[in-house]
Amino acid sequence: ISACLVGSEMCIRDSSRKTDRMTDESQAPVILITGGSRGVGAATARLAAAQGYDVAISFVANESAALSVASDVEALGRRALPVRADNADPAQVAALFAAIDKAFGRLDVLVNNAAMLARQSRLEDLDFERVRRVFAVNSIGPILCAQQAVKRMSTRYNGRGGSVINISSASARLGSPNEYVDYAASKGAVETFTTGFAKEVAREGIRVNCIRPGHIYTEMHASGGEPDRVNPVSYTHLRAHETGRN
């Protein structure tokens, strides 16, 4: 977890430095974290609050977890806004950003964290609906959210500027063969999108970064049918590193 959180912390801290000019003394900067009710998203929400951000999070199913994160944010003296929204649905994404407009009147940082994976399977056994849903959430969702963020951040639209952070996965590089190549491919799409989007808005006051986490202890692995996945994978990589070093 520390490696990913360090990466997230760096981006958040750096964005706060860059957006000093955007922040008046009467209002804290605002960060939106999609999929912020658990795992990396929840940890990022708490970290952002500790660093002075008001925090909006989206969630799909686990309302109690989202409310718990919101409570933690408020305990740190910041405002919190949990919103139920599927980031693969354009109408729900638009409603999410409208809720942020109403509650905060600004948006400084977007963290495209929401993602899903399905049970481990070989390529030939993947059904169309599974692949469609994985790409809708993991690849199209970040694009839909980024579209809304641009309209609020970009100097092209009289915005103050801002930062967009896309969360990828080591699977984008490794491919996840015999497990979930659809998830890996969807994260590869996120990295390609990051490159193009960053160049597109670089002169409009928006910085776009991508974080590719390694092995993280989160609930997400249970969705793939291997809740303890990090332990054997981490051990295998450690042994391979030690063998190569020796």
Which residues belong to the active site? 183
Cα four-point dihedral sign 20, 18, 142, 51: negative
Coil/strand/helix, residue 83: strand
Sheet with 162-167, strands from edge to edge, namely 80-84, 54-59, 30-33, 109-112, 162-167, 206-211
Vertex 167: Cα angle to 137 and 234 (nearest 5): 110
Cβ neighbours of 198 (radius 10 Å): 16
- CA 189 to chain centroid: 14
CA dist 164 → 31, 83, 127, 218, 228 (Å): 10, 19, 32, 23, 31
